[in-house]
Chain A
Amino acid sequence: MSNAAHKEPVAVVGIGQTKHVAARRDVSLAGLVREAARRALDDAELTWADIDAVVIGKAPDFFEGVMMPELYLADALGAVGKPVLRVHTAGSVGGSTALVATNLVAARVHRTVLTLAFEKQSESNAMWGLSLPIPFQQPLLAGAGGFFAPHVRAYMRRTGAPDTVGSLVAYKDRRNALKNPYAHLHEEDITLEKVQSSPMLWDPIRYSETCPSSDGACAMVLTDRAGAARSPRPAAWVHGGAMRSEPTLFAGKDFVSPQAGKDCAADVYRQAGLTDPRRQIDAVEMYVPFSWYEPMWLENLGFAEEGEGWKLTEAGVTALDGDLPVNPSGGVLSTNPIGASGMLRFAEAALQVRGQAGAHQVEGARRALGHAYGGGSQFFSMWLVGADSPAA
């Protein structure tokens, strides 16, 4: 049924994000999302009245303890009298939210949609929110790092990757973040040695190989062909988008390279008509909350054969000046407002093909992939954006 020709082409014409920091004590939740939304509208040179619907996402309500925040945020997002939709897929939610908004335009339900995602981690405690004292269960875990570290070890065993690769990713991403004025961590004095000597938290994951806890929001304005024609700045065109999910735990689940992730990527490439993503994609913004997930996702997303992902990282292929730059923005490792992190990946991919990524621009980027995952590697969402309209 999915025939691209029957869909309205979708363009990203406005992108806004906040300067991500550990704590934005000067703004309410409403003030935070408003800032990103306002910047996206300004980028598109549109007003609240030009928006037909709002699609919002964030991580579980329990992180900030505001139940259904979309209701309270409607005023701040100019959504009164318009449809507001909330999307909820754990850490991948920023990506899923953008895709729901995309589909509303593609299906010609709405012409111009504001989509945004946020997290104000300073008002919450995600580690606590993920480790509730469930009766009859043995309390063992220590946050997301404790959950993902065994899977990293499994990856190292399966591929024979040297244990230095994780530090290379963290060093690269933190260096890239220095070129991104919106990134949370700006570690001017970062060195590879500092990463390698940072404390081991959940062996094999070191402190410097983990993401920070951030307050931040990201917003995008998506529109149809007519809207794109009026856009004052270049559009990023959506060439493909997909979501897949699978259970958190099941017999046969491959935690290192989940089937849902492979299927999601394959669907996106098929929609975009790509046959060789490694060569046809110019930049990747992938969801890497722990550094080892870069080589793991390189394989899962089809950029490397199984067991070979770490070799791309080690050879510098994923560096900003490599031939497949990964996370030029600094990625989740440098900025993690959980609910917004997926949308930031999507938005940064769009900035690349619009040529508006500033100091972290990948020269001549024409096609970029945005990727998000969430839960226990159970939700995946991805889009491929291009500088050319899909019809061209």
Chain B
Amino acid sequence: MPEVPEVLTAPLVVEFPFTRSLGPVQSAFLTGLRERTVLGVTCQDGRVLVPPVEYDPVTAEELSDLVEVAPTGTVTTWAWNPGPRRGQPLRTPFAWVLVRLDGADSALLHALDAPGPDAVRTGMRVRIRWAAERTGAITDIACFEPSDDAPPATAPVPHDGEFADPVTGITAPARLDYTYAPGRAQSRYLRALADRRTVGERCPACRKVYVPPRGACPTCGVATDAQVEVGPRGTVTTFCIVNIKAKNLDIEVPYVYAHIALDGADLALHARIGGIPYDRVRMGLRVEPVWTEGGRFPDHYRPTGEPDADYDSYKELI
């Protein structure tokens, strides 16, 4: 029989398509890439920065003198990436490179398509390989490729940054992959729930019973040491009626979101109330859990039919 791990774990993927308003300088830069034109910005001391920045790194003044630089350049340093990951520029092993484009004084980070680390060196000449489909994003540069025949350095050329149909914003998807572990105390709590028992933990110092337990009392700062079964019945201490449907939440509105002090617990847990019209739920209502087959939690709580709890009996738990 496989050993049951003490602590539960589960994958947690957090992803969201953030948007970015570009402002004038980044808008010109990314629109330029779409048109196979690499723009930099001239600082007050005359240096040309690629990619361009909005504000002078020395004087903090606003910058707007754009220049076009060459699609060829020189590798200033590099690192071999033997195992490309999801979302990286190339699927085969490649070199991360800093490339100083001809006409620029700073280097741009990108990928270099090379057969192996032996084919990469600082000082090598490279050129842009443009993506077939370009949208106004840094990925419009598919990658760099070696280019021994690249022409020598050229001077930057002033550019007004004007393009038809400029890109003013981009979407920047972010994704984080975690392995989530709720900890020992919550794991104990969750295991007990699987047997349809609600088990809190008592603080040895203040004697308060925490449900769900977190392994320590946040007031006393000591580990909770004793498990205490609470409920199953409890009292609605306060609630709200939710009238707006949340994305990815399969609950019909309106529904009642309540704080419930289970009998024997010293703080309320949060749950949905069912089995009663939403507009008849009230503070002090006595409730009990309703389980569904295979549910990790009670699906909801419903009235027990007992008389309402006296306000004084739960007012300290609000």
Seen from chain A, the residues whose Cβ lies within 8 Å of a Cβ on chain B are 23-31, 34, 48, 64-66, 75-78, 80, 120, 122-125, 128-129, 131-136, 138-143, 146, 149-154, 157-158, 199-205, 247, 249-256
- Across the interface, do A123 and B238 meet the contact criterion of CB distance under 8 Å? no
Q: Which chain A residues lie closer than 8 Å to B245 at the CB level?
A: 142
Residue contact A134 to B60, C-beta cutoff 8 Å: no
| B267 at the A interface (CB under 8 A) | yes
What 10 pairs between A and B have smallest CB-CB spacing?
A: A149-B240, A78-B60, A28-B23, A135-B10, A203-B241, A251-B208, A65-B18, A247-B218, A251-B266, A150-B238
CA distance A332 to B161 in the complex (A): 39
Interface residues in chain B, defined as those with a beta carbon under 8 Å from any beta carbon in chain A: 8, 10-12, 14, 16, 18-23, 26, 53-60, 62, 168-169, 172, 174, 180, 182, 186, 190, 203, 206, 208-210, 217-219, 237-249, 251, 254, 257-259, 266-267, 270-272, 283, 296-297, 311, 315-316, 318
Given A65-B16, A142-B257, A149-B240, 4 more A-B residue pairs with CB atoms under 8 Å apart are: A24-B21, A27-B21, A251-B203, A252-B316
Partner of A80, one of B19, B58, B266: B58
**Known contacts A25-B169, A134-B180; is-contact A150 B206 (Cβ 8 Å):** no
Q: How far is the CA of A129 from the CA of B241 in the complex (A)?
A: 22
Q: CA separation between A317 and B246, bound complex, in Å?
A: 38
Contact A250 B55 (CB under 8 A): no
CB of B244 within 8 A of CB of A142, answer yes
Give the CA-CA distance A158 to B172 in the complex, in Å: 47
What residues on B are CB-neighbors of A64 within 8 Å?
18
State whether A30 touches B272 (Cβ < 8 A): no
B249 adjacent to A136 (CB under 8 Å) = no
13 contacts between A and B (CB under 8 A): A23-B21, A31-B54, A66-B18, A122-B19, A129-B16, A135-B180, A139-B248, A142-B246, A143-B246, A146-B240, A153-B240, A202-B243, A253-B267
CB-based contact A141/B257 at 8 Å: yes
Contact A154 B318 (CB under 8 A): yes
**Residues A30 and B55 in contact, CB atoms below 8 Å apart:** yes
Query: Residue of B at shortest CB range from A25?
Result: B21
Q: Are B266 and A136 in contact (CB under 8 A)?
A: no
Tell me, in angstroms, the Cα distance from A134 to B315 when the chains sit together: 30
Asked if A150 and B271 sit within 8 Å, CB to CB, the answer is no
Shortest Cβ distance from A293 into chain B, in angstroms?
Answer: 15
Q: Nearest chain A CB to B272's CB is how many angstroms away?
A: 6
Q: Are A75 and B56 in contact (CB under 8 A)?
A: yes
CA distance A143 to B249 in the complex (A): 12
Q: Are A154 and B238 neighbours in the complex by a CB distance under 8 Å? A: yes
The reply to whether A76 and B55 contact each other, CB–CB distance below 8 Å, is yes
Smallest CB-CB separation from B298: which chain A residue?
A138
Q: List residues of chain A with CB within 8 A of the CB of B318.
A: 151, 154, 157-158, 254-256
For B26, give the chain A residue with the smallest CB separation. A28
Contact B257 A146, beta carbon cutoff 8 Å: yes
The minimal Cβ–Cβ distance linking B221 to chain A, given in whole angstroms, is: 10
CB-CB < 8 A to A158: which residues of B?
315, 318
